[in-house]
Homo-oligomer: A and B are copies of this chain.
């Protein structure tokens, strides 16, 4: 079974807007055992949309449309699909009444244009919309070929998502072969994708029935495992067995075996140990604290900290001796150490972390003038003492800052193991 997703809307053919519904729809279809083979994005043009609909109906078993169900003259999905399938649209009197009632309730007159939202493809079931006026349509037809399914859905994410869950998922599950899907996600920080693949491929290749996907982005590698079977226990057992073997191989490099983010894991570990954390950030300028405070409930373990961007603030907020900054340079191991220890003393946190580095694109100043862009020092102070890590991060300012914060989180996690 293959599917095609057609996103209708001229705004998605500009440099500013992108179809995002197809990611959600793909995830839903995959869970039902359906592969997405084509995605088409087409503008609000009847000829283009009709052509795209005819092509999709000819090459896919299931065709999903998102968008183009509104009341304006630009909303053409209903007409295009009817024309492509060679079937008629009829105006549903019950839907028309609902639309009129909707307008009456708001005390505004309904323009004649709006009535087209009551037009339904011959043979289609109407899918109610809990969050808007555009209903969906579900057509299980043998018009074009046996067993073809055509689904019309609204464009706004807050309408399409609940409509798919409530109306399409059960209808598709009833038509498609029964199938149970088990998933697991393992997450690792900072390792190169090639290294993770080299170490895990000999294991996951032994599980051809489990679909393994490696995703790499922003200092993190994710391993996604997915297995389908005739019953859930069987699917879950296969996925868990593979995940278990990978966990043995990658060991402490895995920070999350059920999908939690690195920030969440760090906060969870602090919580389990009853510890608190404070930060002193120079080149990351608040990024590390911001990532941690983005997690609900972080206030129990993260006390806060200082953004010590200017050298003077390194002294004001973390008591770093000005002579040390002048001699070693603000981007140096000794300053990272003093920052971590200073912020720990000031805040009384169990663990303190400091970051100082040259994020570029300009060079450092004073004693740091000739140090390379991407040089970063991270300090961690706790009851066991203070450790300092020297890093050389490649890439632009954004990447250097992000990876520095990622290294800091991973260092905290390692210290809590």
Contacts and interface: CB of A to CB of B under 8 A. Distances in A.
Interface of A: 12-16, 18, 20, 23-24, 26-27, 30, 35-43, 45, 48, 51-52, 55, 59, 213, 215, 224, 279, 281-290, 292-294, 296-299, 302-310, 312-313, 316-317, 346-348, 360-362, 397-398, 401
B303 A305 contact: no
Contacts of A312: 303, 347-348
Contact of A289 (B37, B294, B297, B307): B307
16 contacts: A13-B35, A14-B26, A15-B24, A16-B213, A37-B42, A279-B286, A279-B307, A285-B293, A286-B288, A286-B290, A296-B361, A299-B309, A302-B310, A303-B313, A304-B306, A304-B317
A304 B307 contact: yes
B305 A306 contact: yes
Interface centre among A55, A286, A287, A346 (most CB of B within 10 A): A286
Nearest to A20: B18
A347 B285 contact: no
Contact of A317 (B12, B43, B309, B317): B317
A228 to B, nearest CB: 15
A313 B279 CA distance: 12
B293 A307 contact: yes
Contact of A296 (B307, B316, B317, B362): B362
Interface of A is mostly: mixed
A42 B27 CA distance: 17
A50 to B, nearest CB: 12
Nearest to A290: B286
Nearest to A31: B15
A304 B294 contact: no
Nearest to A348: B312
A26 B10 CA distance: 12
B305 A307 contact: yes
Nearest to A308: B304
A37 B283 CA distance: 44
